Amino acid sequence: MYVDYNAIGQRIKKIRKQKRLTQEKVAESLEVSTVYISQVENGKTKLSLEMLVRLASLLDTEPGYFLTGIFYHSQDYLKADIAQLLRECPPEKLQLIMDVVKLITKYKVSPQ
């Protein structure tokens, strides 16, 4: 399995900046060096699962977002997954998918 540490680092950097935190403040809070945070954000250092969870907690973000780039608590995450599947789908199956979707959307689902 390929892990894109560069993408993970960019997501961490994006959230850190949105939270208006400096690398120094993050490093201080996590008791690591600023150089380490910089290397993580630039994809030059692999971070452990423990550090990923600590960073997520500090940045008030789901760890899964850093791995996938998707916020699973939002309602839109399925749309991204479906769109990806459709992009990979052979053209001859797209009409069948469309027909099934039309049938499904005609029926109302009652809460259980």
Q: What is the pLDDT of residues 57-94, one digit of tens each?
A: 999 998 988 998 877 665 666 777 788 788 888 988 99
Assess if residue 111 is contained within a domain. no
Q: What is the reported pTM?
A: 0.65
Sequence letter at residue 90: P
Q: Which structural domain range is residue 30 located in?
A: 5-68
Token pair of 104, please?
A: 């499904």
Helix-, strand-, coil-residue percentages of the chain, each rounded to 5: 65, 0, 35
Length of the chain: 112
Q: Are residues 60 and 82 in the same domain?
A: no
Q: Are residues 53 and 94 in the same domain?
A: no
Sequence letter at residue 23: Q
C-alpha span between 100 and 97 (Å, rounded): 5
- 54: nearest Cα among 66, 44, 45, 43: 66
- If one counts the domains in the chain, the total is 2
**Cβ–Cβ under 8 Å, residues 83 and 76:** no
Q: Are residues 95 and 63 in the same domain?
A: no
pLDDT recorded at residue 54? 96
Structure-model confidence comparison of residues 111 and 19, the more confident one: 19
